[in-house]
Amino acid sequence: MIKVLIVEDDPMVSEINQRFLEKIEGFSLYESVNTIEDAKDAILKGNPDLILLDIFFPQGRGIELIKWIRANDLKSDVILITADKSMDTVEEAFRYGAIDYLIKPFVFNRFKEALLQYKNRLKNFENIEKVEQNIIDKYTLNKETTDETSDIKDIKGFSKHTYQKVLNYIKSMNNKAFSAQEIADKIGVSRITARRYLDYLEREDKVILELEYGKVGRPKNKYRLND
């Protein structure tokens, strides 16, 4: 299992990151912290493989944590998850070795893509003593997709008829966002069944998952046709 440390001071965003992480096989949450100093302690204590890191903290910037990791020759990799759209920050993050940069608000598919690409790279680098150029190119030029991202598992009791009804209704919505319950009500299935077909369509990249924030409570899952 790939151990992941989440460094995020917004409790809601931290919870979203944890929920997304739980949906991806091969990753486990090592710890979630909300300050840079607590992150340093967690890194030294547990040597996480991957760090999901915000930029803005009351006591400093997440980039400083990356610099500290590199200065101390620690082997944790970092994916930035932040609202910072500054090109200077993006350049600085990659200069100090960040492996990806996700801009809030992001969709689950993009989060999943970042983690699966990282997982696939680790898997394929195992037990390699001398690397060939084609292997480097595969992971730096994105010449191939991972096997996992293209793997679609069948739904138990899968019905092509129900699948097509769900897809046809989604296409008729003129790109409006919708919930699993709305789909269930319209085509006459349970919310759980609708959710399974929506998850299937999400894995096919035919719909995208979005999070709708209300004034209180957890964000709601909303879906939208992926044009």
Q: How far is CA 28 from CA 41, 83, 123, in A?
A: 19, 24, 16
Residues 139 and 164 in one domain: no
Please identify which residue in the block is written with the tokens 């940069």. 101
How much is the pLDDT for 133?
74
CATH code at 167? Answer: 1.10.10.10
In a domain, 155, yes or no: no
Residues 144 and 87 in one domain: yes
Instruction: Give the chain's end-to-end CA distance (angstroms, integer).
Output: 34
How much is the pLDDT for 142?
53
Domain count, the chain: 2
Residues 120 and 41 in one domain: yes
Residues 124 and 61 in one domain: yes
Question: What is the span of the domain harbouring residue 25?
Answer: 2-149
Residues 16 and 92 in one domain: yes
Contacts of residue 204, defined as CB under 8 A and 6 or more positions apart, other chains included, come to 152
User: What's the average pLDDT block by block, 10 residues per block, for the chain (227 residues)?
Assistant: 95 93 94 96 96 93 95 94 91 92 88 90 75 68 45 57 86 87 88 87 85 65 84
CA nearest neighbour of 104 among 216, 217, 10, 202: 10
Q: Which of 124, 149, 174 is the last residue of a domain?
A: 149
Residues 96 and 196 in one domain: no
In a domain, 193, yes or no: yes
Residues 113 and 37 in one domain: yes
Residues 132 and 186 in one domain: no
In a domain, 182, yes or no: yes
How much is the pLDDT for 47?
93
Q: Which of 127, 149, 171 is the last residue of a domain?
A: 149
CATH code at 99? Answer: 3.40.50.2300
User: To which H or E segment does residue 77 belong?
Assistant: strand 77-82
pTM: 0.62
CA nearest neighbour of 76 among 54, 97, 101, 103: 97
In a domain, 131, yes or no: yes
Q: Which of 149, 178, 207 is the last residue of a domain?
A: 149
